[in-house]
Amino acid sequence: MIRSHVLVCGGTGCTSSGSVAMGEKLENELIARGLDDEIKVVRTGCFGLCALGPIMIVYPEGTFYSHVTLDDIPEIVEEHLLKGRVVERLIYNDTGKELNHHEVFSLNDTGFYKKQKRLALRNCGVINPESIDEYIAMDGYAALGKALTEMTPAQVIQTIKDSGLRGRGGGGFSTGTKWDFAAKSVSDKKYVVCNGDEGDPGAFMDRSVLEGDPHTVLEAMAIAGYAIGADEGYIYVRAEYPIAVARLQIAINQAREYGLLGKDIFSSGFNFDVQLRLGAGAFVCGEETALLTSIEGHRGEPRPRPPFPAVKGLFNQPTIINNVETLANISQIILHGPEWFTSMGTEKSKGTKVFALGGKILHTGLVEIPMGTTLREIIYEIGGGIPNGKKFKAAQTGGPSGGCIPAEHLDTPIDYDSLVAIGSMMGSGGLIVMDEDNCMVDIAKFFLEFTVDESCGKCPPCRIGTRRMLEILEKITSGKGEDGDIEKLEDLAKNIKTTALCGLGQTAPNPILSTLRYFRDEYEAHIYEKRCPAGQCKALARIMINPAKCKGCGLCSKVCPVNAISGVIKSPFIIDQSTCIKCGACIEKCKFGAIEKK
């Protein structure tokens, strides 16, 4: 009889930290002690707290262990699983609550989890994603059964419309309306496509859902197929997501074996099956028409719209395309009703949103919050704030297609319309936090470099225009900026936004426009003062020794690779600015904080 379940994170983050070997050692240790019949090890998806991996949770107690190493396994087995005493030094506890040997606390009490509402992530870190039985035990495929046996296709579409669910992939278009367009398109063949090609730097929301709960995507695609009259679906996912790909294929095989994909599902006469297609990593294939072109076996390039995919999509047939997170909400809306979903969020942005929280933040990881939660709550209450006492400077949402939100908008509610109003966008859900040490001109250059590299090259505004903007930014950050460069950037950005072929090209200038809007003074300092206020642009930075703090120990001169530092022991040293390469080795070595980058 099983008395305990030990959940071991099997998401990409924890896997990279060694959770696979940790799980294997745990199983071997249990076998060696004769506990394998009493304690079951379950490999799950992502728990969310990626910065604390590898993670292990013991149930029924709910003890949350973080940063677990191979050397910790014998102690956990001996003390906790055998003697019933928690290993306090490994417990994740940011509540300030003192624990005794037999006491644990609810994860909902912690700063990271208490303001979250896990809907799309409801099964991630809870079930074994490679077990269809565990998914079914969590009401899996009940929504598909309800849709096929109790609802008409029109009722399914109206339910999704009434829920107010908007696409979680970027633009925020009404999901129900998209389905309605495809349902009304007349054709003998229609398709459902899942866009799992998230390519934004720092984004890993869809990957985590595919790794932790693949059946929720299959179930939603089948419901969508029933709603619009499609009998075939494709999941387009990056080949760089090997764990997600493997678990998706396992889930597809299991669903077919159980009769939940294939012919006559639930004896309803409805047929639907799903195939996997792997992307080669082109960012542009996240754009829906380029994705369809890639599935068809051609180079991934966008198509002019209209016609929209709902009218003429995959293989020129009506097609609906939804991203992973959008689909992860479908079964719950069908099961619980649209009113349940609309009770969360704001007037025009219903439900929750998943964010990949990264950058200068204490708790890097995956969070899901109700729409309308403020940026301040996400960063300081859920994310734990900025490390090392640094000041918050900006947050980038929407990746290369989004914008930078400054400190003055920390209390902005996170929803589609509020973000657009302040010059950013929701995007797929990447949220990168920056502190006072980040140069906003350099940040704009970083995202533009990415866009230039990933442009498919089909339309001149994106192919040529973004490169011209990048050249201007490179000139500014190298200390060669001139009067008029800012105006050239603005003109180019506005022209590209209005003339590029697809959404990726049209939004490529957003990081420049938002940083110009809120951090114009930094651009001006680079151009007119030949100074980088954050000290990040090497060509403009100056590394200085503060004579009041320098003790004359000479360590800085010993580590300088170009011999730019000179002086006499026990007297302040100096740096030759003409020789210094701004490597920062002296700053790291100085024990007295006497060397600064300005």
Task: Look at residue 584 and give its three-state secondary structure.
Answer: coil
Query: Of 3.60.10.10, 3.40.50.620, 3.30.2290.10, 3.40.50.11540, which CATH number belongs to 132-340?
Result: 3.40.50.11540
**Mean pLDDT computed over 74-88:** 92
Burial of 154 (0-12, 13-18, 19+ CB in 10 A): exposed
> What pTM was estimated for this model as a whole?
0.91
Query: CATH 3.40.30.10: which residues of the chain?
Result: 4-108
Q: Which amino acid is at 512?
A: I
Q: How far is it, in rounded angstroms, from Cα 354 to Cα 323?
A: 12
Would you state the pLDDT for residue 92?
83
- Confidence band of 424 (pLDDT split at 50, 70, 90): confident
Find the mean pLDDT for residues 251-260: 98
Does domain 440-528 bear CATH number 1.20.1440.230? yes
Q: What percent of the chain has pLDDT over 90?
A: 79
Which residue has better confidence, 1 or 549? 549
User: Which three-class secondary structure string do you get for 344-373?
Assistant: CECCCCECEEEEEEEECCCCCEEEEEECCC
**Chain segment 472-483, per-residue pLDDT in tens:** 999 999 999 999
Helix, coil or strand: residue 172: coil
**CA 62 to each of CA 7, 13, 55, 552, 595: distance values in angstroms, whole numbers, following the listed order:** 10, 21, 12, 54, 48
Query: What CATH number does the domain located at 543-597 have?
Result: 3.30.70.20
Taking only the tens place, the pLDDT of each residue in 337-367 is: 999 999 999 999 999 999 999 999 999 999 9
Single-letter amino acid code for the residue at 22? M
Q: Which two tokens stand for residue 86?
A: 């928690």
Q: Which CATH class is domain 4-108?
A: alpha beta
Q: Angle between the 175-184 and 214-228 helix axes, to the nearest 10 degrees?
A: 40
Residue 407: DSSP 8-state: G
Domain 352-435 of CATH type 3.30.420.40:
no
User: Is 391 exposed, middle or buried (CB count within 10 Å of its CB: 0-12, 13-18, 19+)?
Assistant: exposed
User: Which residues of the chain does CATH 3.30.70.20 include?
Assistant: 543-597
| Long-range contacts of the stretch 117-120 (C-beta < 8 A, 24+) | 117/344, 117/352, 117/368, 117/369, 117/370, 118/352, 118/368, 119/328, 119/329, 119/332, 119/344, 119/351, 119/352, 119/368, 120/168, 120/209, 120/325, 120/328, 120/329, 120/352, 120/354, 120/368
CATH 1.20.1440.230 region(s) of the chain?
Answer: 440-528
Query: Residue for token digits 């960012």?
Result: 283
Q: How many CA atoms lie within 13 A of 306 on its CB side?
A: 4
Q: Tell me the pLDDT band of 110, cut-offs 50, 70 and 90.
A: confident
Residue 101 confidence (pLDDT): 45
Instruction: Return residue ranges of the chain for CATH 3.40.50.11540.
Output: 132-340
Q: Are 366 and 378 in contact (CB under 8 A)?
A: no
With b for 16 or more beta-carbon neighbours within 10 A and e for fewer, the 215-240 pattern comes to bbbbbbbbbbbbbbbbebbbbbbbee
pLDDT band at 565 (very low <50, low <70, confident <90, very high): very high
CATH 3.10.20.600 domain locations along the chain: 352-435
